[in-house]
Amino acid sequence: MPTAPDAAWCVYMLRCADGTLYTGITTDIARRVAEHNGEGGPGARYTRSRRPVQLVYVEAAADRAEAARREAAIKRLDRVRKLALCASGR
């Protein structure tokens, strides 16, 4: 499993139980993954019906704006490129 970087904000990707990928941003990766899995919060609507989820990628960001821009860029990638990004562990 990827580890959370020592940054205030990070971009992450999850692999859902149905094999789809979900991308988001957070300041606390462990809490957010737990929420996506139904522990301590609702998680995202998309992942609620696709549990359990598994963290497959984490990338540090300097601030919220940079994290949001990177999230948008990752979401524009096709599935093959997202999987390559996960495999690279960048």
Q: How far apart are CA 52 and CA 70, in angstroms?
A: 25
Fold for the domain defined by 9-88:
GIY-YIG endonuclease (3.40.1440)
Question: pLDDT at position 5, please?
Answer: 54
Cβ neighbourhood burial of 87 (10 Å; 0-12, 13-18, 19+): exposed
Question: pLDDT at position 40, please?
Answer: 81
Model pLDDT for residues 7-48, shown as the tens digit of each residue = 589 999 999 999 999 999 999 999 999 999 999 877 888 999
Q: What is the pTM of this model?
A: 0.89
Indicate if the pLDDT at residue 85 is higher than 90.
yes
Q: How far apart are CA 61 and CA 41, in angstroms?
A: 24
Question: pLDDT at position 7, please?
Answer: 57
DSSP per position, 46-84: HHHTS-S-EEEEEEEESSHHHHHHHHHHHHHS-HHHHHH
